[in-house]
A and B are shown apart, each in its own frame.
Chain A
Amino acid sequence: MPEQSSLPQAKIKPLRSLSWVWLIPFIAVLLGGWMLFSYSQSQGPTVTLHLTTAEGIEVGKTAIKARNVKLGVISDIALSEHYDAIVATAKMTPEAARMLSEDAQLWVVKPRIGTEGVSGLDTLLSGAYIELQPGKSAQTKSEFVVHDVPPISALAAGKRVSLTHAEAGKLKVGDPVLYEGFTVGRVEKVSFNTEVRKAEYGLFIFEPYDSLLKPESRFWLTSGIDMTLSSAGVDVNIGSLETLISGGVSFRVPDGVATSAHGASVNHYPLYDSLAQVQEQLFEKSLDYVMLFDESVRGLAPGAPVEYRGIKIGSVSKVPLGLLQSEGGFNQKQIPVLVKIDLGRIFDNETATSLDALAGMFESEFAAGLRGTLSTGNLLTGALFIDISFQDDEAYQQAQYTGYPVFPTTAGGVGEIQKQVSELVKKANALPLDTALNAFTRTMESAQGAADSFSQVAQQLNDTLASPAAQSLPAELQQTLMSLRDTLGGFSPDSALYQHSESTMAQMNQATKDLQSLLRKLNEQPNALIFGYSGQQDPLPKQGD
């Protein structure tokens, strides 16, 4: 048994406190920490967006851009709590953080075809994106409402005004606001005020055109085609092509209205149906009268003019003004018509003259014989207007009708038309038909004379042709023909020219045949030009029996 001491003894070394192996996980932890840190540093803020629809919006794909620079991407889309909107979450880049101010605007950019043209065509291929218009406020927020259409105010500076009209649907969002036919703004908002039961249209007027707005400005609808049928005839106005399609609203300070020097402090304006209506409404002070007519008022429409010797001094307000009074029934034959005499149409300086003075003036004129008559303004349309003129033989009695003073009238209208027609017939009768017939006969006679002289000329021509000089013509003609024949003889088959051309033709013929044979060979063997024709040997004719 060998000695124990002869066995090799294991050296005992004290264990080092930490193995180098632990360095690897340590580095890994360090790296991981650094990655986490850099990831957190690269993350921008997260914003919540409210949209009406998620059409065209895709998670991870739809970008948020400002001036075509990508600032973030949609990371989540969900329906809102009450299913009435889309709530999208967007991860923004760190640089975008300071853009997300309180007054920042966002809207969806997708292909749009509208009255103002085609936009967002590039998104057809790339898909829709959300445009961010950074705000100026220092305050930031993280929840935004994304508009479906670009908010007009986001694109330009300007001024907002609102218009009221009794009817909704007169304007649409995006309709142009025109000043003398030039687009200076857009309709931004359309709403209906239920309290006053009027439609409200929000307009945005771009800078610098907002300075055109005055407190006296009037807004009226610019429809594509404005057609009015009145006693003045048919009036057709056609606007620009855009307004033809979409309509629009125009504004202007009406003619004859002094503009105040100070800028517009008014933000609410009424909206008129047409420029004509604007002009009608210009005259603020007016006198109301009732005219009682014996004849039919068919063709007399509200707005029909009241004219004094061709000058419009007022208009018809209401036809008829309450048909019958209870006591009269149908026995009361007169039809009441309410008219309005505008002070401003009679006097230049409207403000200086009072209505009472005008009423007093009319009263004295009534006594002098001023009467209203129904007249035909337009025979074609049958539209009537009220003509005011002086009639001598009328007695005047001041009267009232349902609270309005009565404007005395006299019969006219239909009787007048009859008179006109009878005058027309008279004129037709008086037409000098006899004279015309006589003149016609004379014309025919002179035509006969012309024909006679024509036949004389023909006779003279005959004589000329019969003269010896004319007879010698055929001989000359014959000579010409002979020389022509000589010339043509040069081209006869016996001539050298013909022979030469014939031999040329024969050569051409031969060349064509050669070419034909060549083509056939080439057809058989397309490379025959280079490699030579390797066609078969011709068959050998055999000896006959």
Chain B
Amino acid sequence: MKRLLLLLLLAILSLLGACSSPPMPITSYSLLSNVAPDTAGKMATGLVVELPKMPLPMAGLGIVYQKANHSLVEAQQHVWEEDVRIQFSRKLMQELNGQALPVEVTSATTLRGATNAAPRLSVKINEFYGDYRGKAVLAGEWVLSGVDKPATQPVAFYISESLQADGYPALVVALSACIETLADQIAQVVAPLTV
């Protein structure tokens, strides 16, 4: 009797399942860096990149796309592989390490970063998405604060990169390029300070 009931339940569930729409494939993306870290002869952990501050839609699971002027959509089938903030800070750290900085840059999430007394780079991100005009946008501000020194004036930035093709992979590539541009800008300001 119990078995019969179970079978019946399974049958109902399978019938219900037949009603459901075909599953949509979910693709996940990572902000990888292909820059080799150039740490030779640099001061160990001279700068620590903190986890960026991000508003919720951008800090979510999906890649954010601006459909219209005032409408952001978080993608459901195109998601970040890992917490986008961790990916962002790692990518930025790697990019900075690839720059000609006299100090080694670590991330707050790495083993050595958390307790270091080195100056800290805090990034606040306001925009990090692809827009309907075919551009990837990265905007916000960053600030450098030392443990014993007062923080520098925040530096605002707005970086946009055109997508090379339709689709999310191209958007991720464009967003990565934005981070690389940001790393360049930061390195130019920071380099004289850290000498």
Contact = CB atoms under 8 A, between A and B. Distances in A.
Interface of A: 492-494, 498-499, 502, 506, 509-510, 513-514, 516-517, 521, 530-535, 537-545
Contact of A535 (B65, B76, B111, B163): B76
Contacts of A492: 115
A532 B170 contact: no
Contacts of A540: 166-168
B37 interface: no
Nearest to A544: B162
A493 B114 contact: yes
Contacts of A510: 82-83
Contacts of B62: 517, 538
Interface in B31-86: 59-62, 65, 67, 73-78, 82-83, 86
B103 to A, nearest CB: 20
Contacts of A543: 134, 162-166, 170
- The listed residue with most B CB atoms (<10 A of its CB), out of A510, A541, A542, is A541
Contacts of A513: 59-61, 83
A195 B149 CA distance: 117
A516 B149 CA distance: 39
B134 A544 contact: yes
Given A514-B61, A517-B62, A534-B21, A539 B86 contact: no
The 10 closest A-B pairs by CB, nearest first: A544-B162, A544-B134, A532-B20, A493-B114, A538-B75, A531-B20, A541-B171, A541-B130, A534-B21, A542-B134
A541 B134 contact: yes
A516 B168 contact: no
Contact of B24 (A498, A506, A537): A537
Nearest to B131: A541
Given A541-B167, A543-B134, A545-B162, A534 B83 contact: no
Given A538-B75, A542-B134, A544-B135, A516 B162 contact: no
Contacts of A545: 133-134, 162
B23 interface: yes
7 contacts: A494-B111, A506-B86, A510-B83, A513-B60, A513-B61, A521-B76, A533-B24
A525 B46 CA distance: 50
B6 interface: no
Given A539-B65, A544-B134, A531 B16 contact: yes
Which bucket holds chain B's interface residue count? 35 or more
B158 interface: no
A504 to B, nearest CB: 14
Contacts of B174: 544
B19 interface: yes
Contact of B166 (A494, A514, A541): A541
Nearest to A532: B20
Contacts of A538: 62, 65, 73, 75-78, 168
B167 A544 contact: no
A544 B76 contact: no
Nearest to B111: A499
Contacts of A494: 111, 114-115
Nearest to A521: B76
Contacts of A537: 24, 77
Given A517-B61, A534-B21, A535-B76, A541 B163 contact: yes
